[in-house]
Amino acid sequence: MSFDLASRLAERHAAHLFRLRPLLESPQGPEVVVDGKPLLAFCSNDYLGLASHPEVIRALQQGADRWGVGGGASHLVIGHSTPHHALEEALAEFTGRPRALLFSTGYMANLAAVTALVGQGDTVLEDRINHASLLDAGLLSGARFSRYLHNDARSLASRLDKASGNTLVVTDGVFSMDGDLADLPALCAAARQKDAWMMVDDAHGFGPLGASGGGIVEHFGLGLDDVQVLVGTLGKGFGTAGAFVAGSEELIETLIQFARPYIYTTSQPPALACATLKSLELLRREGWRREHLQRLIARFRQGASEIGLQLLDSPTPIQPILIGDSQRAMQLSALLRQRGILVGAIRPPTVPAGSARLRVTLSAAHSEAQLERLLQALAECWPLLAPEVNDA
Protein backbone atom coordinates (compact mmCIF):
# COMPACT_ATOMS: atom_id res chain seq x y z
CA MET A 1 0.00 0.00 0.00
CA SER A 2 1.38 3.42 -0.94
CA PHE A 3 0.49 7.02 -0.16
CA ASP A 4 -1.59 8.52 -2.98
CA LEU A 5 -0.23 12.02 -2.61
CA ALA A 6 -0.93 13.00 -6.22
CA SER A 7 -4.69 12.55 -5.76
CA ARG A 8 -4.70 14.63 -2.58
CA LEU A 9 -2.91 17.44 -4.35
CA ALA A 10 -5.21 17.22 -7.39
CA GLU A 11 -8.28 17.48 -5.16
CA ARG A 12 -6.90 20.59 -3.53
CA HIS A 13 -6.23 22.13 -6.95
CA ALA A 14 -9.78 21.34 -8.10
CA ALA A 15 -11.33 22.96 -5.03
CA HIS A 16 -9.33 26.19 -5.56
CA LEU A 17 -7.55 25.53 -2.26
CA PHE A 18 -4.01 24.91 -3.51
CA ARG A 19 -1.49 27.14 -1.77
CA LEU A 20 1.58 28.72 -3.32
CA ARG A 21 4.45 30.50 -1.58
CA PRO A 22 5.01 34.04 -2.88
CA LEU A 23 8.73 34.70 -3.20
CA LEU A 24 9.59 37.95 -1.40
CA GLU A 25 12.65 39.55 -3.00
CA SER A 26 12.81 42.68 -0.84
CA PRO A 27 12.63 43.60 2.86
CA GLN A 28 9.29 43.76 4.63
CA GLY A 29 7.46 47.02 3.97
CA PRO A 30 4.46 48.47 2.15
CA GLU A 31 6.32 48.41 -1.20
CA VAL A 32 7.79 45.00 -1.94
CA VAL A 33 9.04 42.87 -4.82
CA VAL A 34 7.23 39.52 -5.02
CA ASP A 35 7.93 36.95 -7.73
CA GLY A 36 9.89 39.62 -9.59
CA LYS A 37 7.08 42.20 -9.59
CA PRO A 38 6.90 45.46 -7.59
CA LEU A 39 3.72 45.46 -5.50
CA LEU A 40 1.99 47.47 -2.80
CA ALA A 41 1.43 44.93 -0.03
CA PHE A 42 -1.47 44.73 2.41
CA CYS A 43 -0.81 41.25 3.79
CA SER A 44 2.00 41.55 6.34
CA ASN A 45 1.59 41.32 10.12
CA ASP A 46 4.30 43.97 10.62
CA TYR A 47 1.65 46.18 12.21
CA LEU A 48 3.92 48.94 13.53
CA GLY A 49 6.38 48.94 10.64
CA LEU A 50 9.34 47.86 12.79
CA ALA A 51 10.57 44.86 10.76
CA SER A 52 12.87 47.04 8.64
CA HIS A 53 13.41 49.89 11.09
CA PRO A 54 17.03 51.16 10.88
CA GLU A 55 17.49 51.14 14.67
CA VAL A 56 16.25 47.55 14.94
CA ILE A 57 18.52 46.47 12.08
CA ARG A 58 21.48 48.20 13.74
CA ALA A 59 20.73 46.51 17.08
CA LEU A 60 20.71 43.12 15.31
CA GLN A 61 24.04 43.83 13.62
CA GLN A 62 25.66 45.04 16.82
CA GLY A 63 24.25 42.05 18.68
CA ALA A 64 25.76 39.67 16.13
CA ASP A 65 29.15 41.42 16.44
CA ARG A 66 29.04 41.01 20.23
CA TRP A 67 27.27 37.64 20.66
CA GLY A 68 27.73 35.78 17.38
CA VAL A 69 24.89 34.25 15.39
CA GLY A 70 23.63 30.95 16.81
CA GLY A 71 22.22 30.27 20.26
CA GLY A 72 24.41 27.18 20.40
CA ALA A 73 22.32 25.02 22.74
CA SER A 74 19.07 24.92 24.68
CA HIS A 75 18.47 27.49 27.41
CA LEU A 76 19.05 24.82 30.05
CA VAL A 77 22.44 23.77 28.70
CA ILE A 78 24.48 26.82 27.66
CA GLY A 79 22.13 28.69 25.30
CA HIS A 80 20.64 31.21 27.73
CA SER A 81 22.66 34.36 27.04
CA THR A 82 22.65 37.81 28.60
CA PRO A 83 20.49 39.34 25.79
CA HIS A 84 17.88 36.58 26.26
CA HIS A 85 17.77 37.30 29.98
CA ALA A 86 17.56 41.05 29.47
CA LEU A 87 14.69 40.64 27.00
CA GLU A 88 12.78 38.36 29.38
CA GLU A 89 13.13 40.95 32.13
CA ALA A 90 11.99 43.74 29.80
CA LEU A 91 8.96 41.75 28.63
CA ALA A 92 8.00 40.95 32.22
CA GLU A 93 8.12 44.65 33.08
CA PHE A 94 6.22 45.56 29.88
CA THR A 95 3.41 43.13 30.65
CA GLY A 96 3.33 43.93 34.38
CA ARG A 97 4.08 40.34 35.37
CA PRO A 98 6.75 38.85 37.61
CA ARG A 99 8.48 36.88 34.86
CA ALA A 100 8.54 36.12 31.14
CA LEU A 101 10.02 33.21 29.19
CA LEU A 102 11.33 33.34 25.60
CA PHE A 103 10.45 30.83 22.89
CA SER A 104 11.62 30.47 19.29
CA THR A 105 8.09 30.59 17.82
CA GLY A 106 4.53 31.31 18.91
CA TYR A 107 3.52 27.77 17.97
CA MET A 108 6.08 26.41 20.41
CA ALA A 109 5.03 28.82 23.18
CA ASN A 110 1.41 27.70 22.90
CA LEU A 111 2.29 23.99 22.80
CA ALA A 112 4.57 24.44 25.79
CA ALA A 113 2.12 26.33 27.98
CA VAL A 114 -0.90 24.09 27.43
CA THR A 115 0.88 20.73 27.59
CA ALA A 116 2.85 21.70 30.70
CA LEU A 117 -0.25 22.84 32.60
CA VAL A 118 -2.88 20.20 31.82
CA GLY A 119 -2.89 16.50 31.06
CA GLN A 120 -4.92 13.36 31.52
CA GLY A 121 -7.73 13.95 34.01
CA ASP A 122 -7.76 17.71 33.39
CA THR A 123 -9.86 19.89 31.06
CA VAL A 124 -8.93 22.41 28.38
CA LEU A 125 -11.67 24.62 26.87
CA GLU A 126 -11.00 26.63 23.73
CA ASP A 127 -12.75 29.07 21.42
CA ARG A 128 -13.94 27.31 18.27
CA ILE A 129 -11.89 29.54 15.98
CA ASN A 130 -8.68 29.69 18.02
CA HIS A 131 -5.41 29.62 16.13
CA ALA A 132 -4.30 26.17 14.95
CA SER A 133 -1.41 26.14 17.41
CA LEU A 134 -3.81 26.52 20.34
CA LEU A 135 -6.14 23.80 19.06
CA ASP A 136 -3.20 21.46 18.43
CA ALA A 137 -1.89 22.14 21.93
CA GLY A 138 -5.26 21.22 23.44
CA LEU A 139 -5.41 17.97 21.49
CA LEU A 140 -1.81 17.03 22.30
CA SER A 141 -2.16 17.76 26.01
CA GLY A 142 -4.12 14.56 26.68
CA ALA A 143 -6.65 16.55 28.71
CA ARG A 144 -10.38 16.43 28.04
CA PHE A 145 -10.69 18.89 25.15
CA SER A 146 -13.81 20.88 24.25
CA ARG A 147 -14.49 23.97 22.15
CA TYR A 148 -17.03 26.61 23.15
CA LEU A 149 -18.94 28.81 20.71
CA HIS A 150 -16.93 31.71 19.36
CA ASN A 151 -16.50 34.48 21.92
CA ASP A 152 -19.53 33.21 23.87
CA ALA A 153 -19.16 33.40 27.66
CA ARG A 154 -22.45 31.54 28.21
CA SER A 155 -21.28 28.65 26.05
CA LEU A 156 -18.01 28.63 27.98
CA ALA A 157 -19.88 28.60 31.31
CA SER A 158 -21.91 25.56 30.27
CA ARG A 159 -18.72 23.66 29.44
CA LEU A 160 -17.07 24.78 32.67
CA ASP A 161 -19.97 23.14 34.53
CA LYS A 162 -18.87 19.78 33.06
CA ALA A 163 -15.12 20.29 33.54
CA SER A 164 -13.00 18.05 35.74
CA GLY A 165 -9.52 18.31 37.20
CA ASN A 166 -7.42 21.41 36.59
CA THR A 167 -9.22 23.51 33.96
CA LEU A 168 -7.56 25.83 31.47
CA VAL A 169 -9.59 28.22 29.30
CA VAL A 170 -7.72 29.26 26.15
CA THR A 171 -8.51 32.05 23.72
CA ASP A 172 -6.87 34.27 21.15
CA GLY A 173 -6.80 37.92 22.15
CA VAL A 174 -7.33 39.08 18.56
CA PHE A 175 -8.65 36.38 16.23
CA SER A 176 -6.23 36.24 13.35
CA MET A 177 -8.64 35.59 10.47
CA ASP A 178 -11.60 37.70 11.66
CA GLY A 179 -9.77 40.51 13.45
CA ASP A 180 -12.31 40.72 16.28
CA LEU A 181 -11.41 40.98 19.97
CA ALA A 182 -12.03 38.29 22.57
CA ASP A 183 -14.66 39.37 25.10
CA LEU A 184 -12.07 38.95 27.83
CA PRO A 185 -13.94 40.55 30.73
CA ALA A 186 -16.87 38.13 30.32
CA LEU A 187 -14.68 35.11 29.61
CA CYS A 188 -12.45 35.82 32.60
CA ALA A 189 -15.49 36.23 34.85
CA ALA A 190 -16.84 32.85 33.74
CA ALA A 191 -13.48 31.18 34.34
CA ARG A 192 -13.08 32.80 37.76
CA GLN A 193 -16.46 31.49 38.93
CA LYS A 194 -15.26 27.92 38.35
CA ASP A 195 -11.69 28.46 39.62
CA ALA A 196 -10.32 27.89 36.11
CA TRP A 197 -7.21 29.53 34.69
CA MET A 198 -7.35 31.81 31.65
CA MET A 199 -4.70 31.67 28.91
CA VAL A 200 -4.64 34.36 26.21
CA ASP A 201 -2.56 34.23 23.05
CA ASP A 202 -2.32 37.92 22.15
CA ALA A 203 -0.13 37.46 19.09
CA HIS A 204 -1.99 40.13 17.10
CA GLY A 205 -2.80 42.46 20.02
CA PHE A 206 0.65 43.43 21.27
CA GLY A 207 1.62 46.66 19.53
CA PRO A 208 -1.69 47.84 18.03
CA LEU A 209 -3.84 47.57 21.19
CA GLY A 210 -3.54 49.28 24.55
CA ALA A 211 -2.40 52.76 25.55
CA SER A 212 1.25 51.65 25.51
CA GLY A 213 0.90 48.78 23.04
CA GLY A 214 0.40 46.26 25.83
CA GLY A 215 -2.29 44.38 23.93
CA ILE A 216 -5.78 43.22 24.81
CA VAL A 217 -5.10 42.77 28.54
CA GLU A 218 -4.07 46.42 28.78
CA HIS A 219 -6.96 47.39 26.49
CA PHE A 220 -9.49 45.93 28.95
CA GLY A 221 -7.55 46.87 32.10
CA LEU A 222 -7.14 43.27 33.26
CA GLY A 223 -4.34 41.82 35.38
CA LEU A 224 -2.57 38.67 36.46
CA ASP A 225 -5.54 37.53 38.56
CA ASP A 226 -7.72 37.63 35.42
CA VAL A 227 -5.30 36.20 32.84
CA GLN A 228 -2.82 33.85 34.47
CA VAL A 229 -1.06 32.82 31.22
CA LEU A 230 -0.26 35.56 28.69
CA VAL A 231 1.38 34.63 25.38
CA GLY A 232 2.78 37.06 22.84
CA THR A 233 4.65 36.68 19.57
CA LEU A 234 7.50 38.91 18.46
CA GLY A 235 7.17 38.53 14.67
CA LYS A 236 4.14 40.80 14.31
CA GLY A 237 3.86 44.08 16.22
CA PHE A 238 7.45 43.78 17.47
CA GLY A 239 8.77 43.21 13.95
CA THR A 240 11.37 40.55 14.83
CA ALA A 241 10.80 36.84 15.60
CA GLY A 242 10.06 34.49 18.47
CA ALA A 243 7.52 34.49 21.28
CA PHE A 244 7.14 34.68 25.04
CA VAL A 245 4.93 33.56 27.91
CA ALA A 246 4.45 35.98 30.80
CA GLY A 247 3.01 35.16 34.20
CA SER A 248 3.79 34.35 37.81
CA GLU A 249 7.09 33.14 39.17
CA GLU A 250 5.56 29.68 39.66
CA LEU A 251 4.16 29.53 36.12
CA ILE A 252 7.46 30.39 34.44
CA GLU A 253 9.44 28.00 36.62
CA THR A 254 6.92 25.26 35.82
CA LEU A 255 7.43 25.85 32.09
CA ILE A 256 11.21 25.75 32.49
CA GLN A 257 10.97 22.43 34.35
CA PHE A 258 8.20 20.65 32.41
CA ALA A 259 7.57 22.26 28.98
CA ARG A 260 9.15 19.94 26.41
CA PRO A 261 9.11 22.51 23.53
CA TYR A 262 11.22 24.77 25.77
CA ILE A 263 13.55 22.17 27.24
CA TYR A 264 14.49 20.45 23.98
CA THR A 265 15.01 23.41 21.63
CA THR A 266 18.07 25.50 20.86
CA SER A 267 17.63 29.09 21.97
CA GLN A 268 16.98 31.82 19.42
CA PRO A 269 20.03 33.81 18.23
CA PRO A 270 21.14 36.24 20.96
CA ALA A 271 21.39 39.02 18.36
CA LEU A 272 17.68 38.60 17.69
CA ALA A 273 17.00 39.32 21.36
CA CYS A 274 19.09 42.48 21.02
CA ALA A 275 16.95 43.55 18.05
CA THR A 276 13.73 42.84 19.96
CA LEU A 277 14.89 44.92 22.92
CA LYS A 278 15.22 47.86 20.54
CA SER A 279 11.84 47.19 18.88
CA LEU A 280 10.20 47.01 22.32
CA GLU A 281 11.71 50.41 23.13
CA LEU A 282 10.32 51.87 19.89
CA LEU A 283 6.92 50.21 20.39
CA ARG A 284 6.55 51.88 23.78
CA ARG A 285 8.11 55.24 22.88
CA GLU A 286 6.52 56.02 19.53
CA GLY A 287 2.80 56.16 20.23
CA TRP A 288 2.25 57.92 16.92
CA ARG A 289 2.52 54.52 15.21
CA ARG A 290 -0.63 53.27 16.95
CA GLU A 291 -2.42 56.58 16.36
CA HIS A 292 -1.64 56.55 12.63
CA LEU A 293 -2.70 52.90 12.40
CA GLN A 294 -6.06 53.68 14.00
CA ARG A 295 -6.66 56.46 11.45
CA LEU A 296 -5.88 54.05 8.60
CA ILE A 297 -8.28 51.45 10.04
CA ALA A 298 -11.11 53.98 10.34
CA ARG A 299 -10.56 55.29 6.80
CA PHE A 300 -10.40 51.78 5.31
CA ARG A 301 -13.65 50.74 6.96
CA GLN A 302 -15.37 53.90 5.77
CA GLY A 303 -14.11 53.50 2.21
CA ALA A 304 -14.91 49.79 2.05
CA SER A 305 -18.46 50.46 3.23
CA GLU A 306 -18.91 53.05 0.48
CA ILE A 307 -17.81 50.47 -2.11
CA GLY A 308 -20.29 47.94 -0.71
CA LEU A 309 -17.76 45.42 0.60
CA GLN A 310 -18.78 43.09 3.43
CA LEU A 311 -16.36 43.56 6.30
CA LEU A 312 -16.20 41.67 9.57
CA ASP A 313 -16.50 43.47 12.92
CA SER A 314 -12.83 44.28 13.48
CA PRO A 315 -11.29 47.31 15.22
CA THR A 316 -7.79 45.96 14.53
CA PRO A 317 -5.30 46.13 11.62
CA ILE A 318 -6.80 42.82 10.39
CA GLN A 319 -9.63 43.82 8.04
CA PRO A 320 -11.16 40.79 6.28
CA ILE A 321 -13.33 41.32 3.20
CA LEU A 322 -15.81 38.44 3.21
CA ILE A 323 -16.25 36.93 -0.26
CA GLY A 324 -17.81 33.49 0.30
CA ASP A 325 -16.52 30.94 -2.16
CA SER A 326 -12.84 30.31 -2.73
CA GLN A 327 -12.79 30.84 -6.48
CA ARG A 328 -14.16 34.39 -6.20
CA ALA A 329 -11.69 35.21 -3.43
CA MET A 330 -8.84 34.05 -5.65
CA GLN A 331 -10.26 36.07 -8.54
CA LEU A 332 -10.43 39.29 -6.53
CA SER A 333 -6.89 38.78 -5.25
CA ALA A 334 -5.70 38.25 -8.85
CA LEU A 335 -7.52 41.38 -10.09
CA LEU A 336 -5.85 43.46 -7.40
CA ARG A 337 -2.47 41.98 -8.22
CA GLN A 338 -2.92 43.01 -11.85
CA ARG A 339 -3.22 46.56 -10.50
CA GLY A 340 -0.04 46.19 -8.45
CA ILE A 341 -1.62 45.44 -5.08
CA LEU A 342 -0.96 42.31 -3.04
CA VAL A 343 -3.72 41.03 -0.73
CA GLY A 344 -3.88 37.35 0.15
CA ALA A 345 -6.97 35.20 -0.32
CA ILE A 346 -7.71 33.12 2.78
CA ARG A 347 -9.58 29.89 2.07
CA PRO A 348 -10.61 26.68 3.82
CA PRO A 349 -9.33 24.92 5.84
CA THR A 350 -7.85 28.06 7.39
CA VAL A 351 -11.39 29.48 7.57
CA PRO A 352 -14.73 27.61 7.49
CA ALA A 353 -16.13 26.52 4.11
CA GLY A 354 -18.16 29.28 2.51
CA SER A 355 -16.27 32.06 4.30
CA ALA A 356 -13.30 32.62 1.98
CA ARG A 357 -12.05 36.17 2.22
CA LEU A 358 -9.38 38.68 1.36
CA ARG A 359 -7.43 39.44 4.54
CA VAL A 360 -6.31 43.05 4.36
CA THR A 361 -3.72 43.91 7.01
CA LEU A 362 -2.71 47.49 7.65
CA SER A 363 0.60 48.78 8.99
CA ALA A 364 1.76 52.04 10.51
CA ALA A 365 4.25 52.05 7.63
CA HIS A 366 1.40 52.54 5.12
CA SER A 367 0.73 56.09 4.02
CA GLU A 368 -2.72 57.57 3.58
CA ALA A 369 -2.03 57.79 -0.16
CA GLN A 370 -1.22 54.07 -0.31
CA LEU A 371 -4.47 53.25 1.48
CA GLU A 372 -6.43 55.38 -1.01
CA ARG A 373 -4.76 53.45 -3.83
CA LEU A 374 -6.03 50.19 -2.28
CA LEU A 375 -9.57 51.55 -1.96
CA GLN A 376 -9.54 52.79 -5.56
CA ALA A 377 -8.39 49.37 -6.80
CA LEU A 378 -11.10 47.62 -4.77
CA ALA A 379 -13.72 49.95 -6.22
CA GLU A 380 -12.56 49.02 -9.73
CA CYS A 381 -12.26 45.27 -9.13
CA TRP A 382 -15.35 44.53 -7.04
CA PRO A 383 -17.85 44.87 -9.93
CA LEU A 384 -15.71 42.56 -12.08
CA LEU A 385 -16.12 39.49 -9.87
CA ALA A 386 -17.79 36.43 -11.37
CA PRO A 387 -21.25 35.47 -9.99
CA GLU A 388 -21.12 33.71 -6.65
CA VAL A 389 -21.00 29.91 -6.57
CA ASN A 390 -21.00 27.49 -3.65
CA ASP A 391 -17.77 26.06 -2.27
CA ALA A 392 -17.30 22.39 -3.04
176 is annotated as an active-site residue: yes
Give the whole-angstrom CA distance, residue 278 versus residue 104: 18
Task: End-to-end CA distance of the chain: give it in Å, rounded.
Answer: 28
The catalytic position among 80, 219, 236, 292 is: 236
Single out the catalytic residue among 204, 278, 292, 366.
204
How far apart CA 157 and CA 187 sit, in angstroms, is 9
Distance (Å, whole) CA 116 – CA 112: 6
φ/ψ of residue 22, rounded to 5:
-65, 140
Which is nearest to 232 in space by CA: 249, 221, 217?
Answer: 217
Q: Which residues pair with 335 in a beta bridge?
A: none
Among 237, 221, 210, CA closest to 56: 237
| Set 104, 176, 326, 363: catalytic member | 176
List Cβ neighbours of 79 (8 Å cut-off, separation of 6 or more). Answer: 71, 72, 73, 266, 267
236 is catalytic: yes
Angle at 185 between CA 133 and CA 191, to 5 degrees: 65
Query: What is the CA 102 to chain-centroid distance, rounded?
Result: 16
Residue numbers annotated as active site: 176, 204, 236
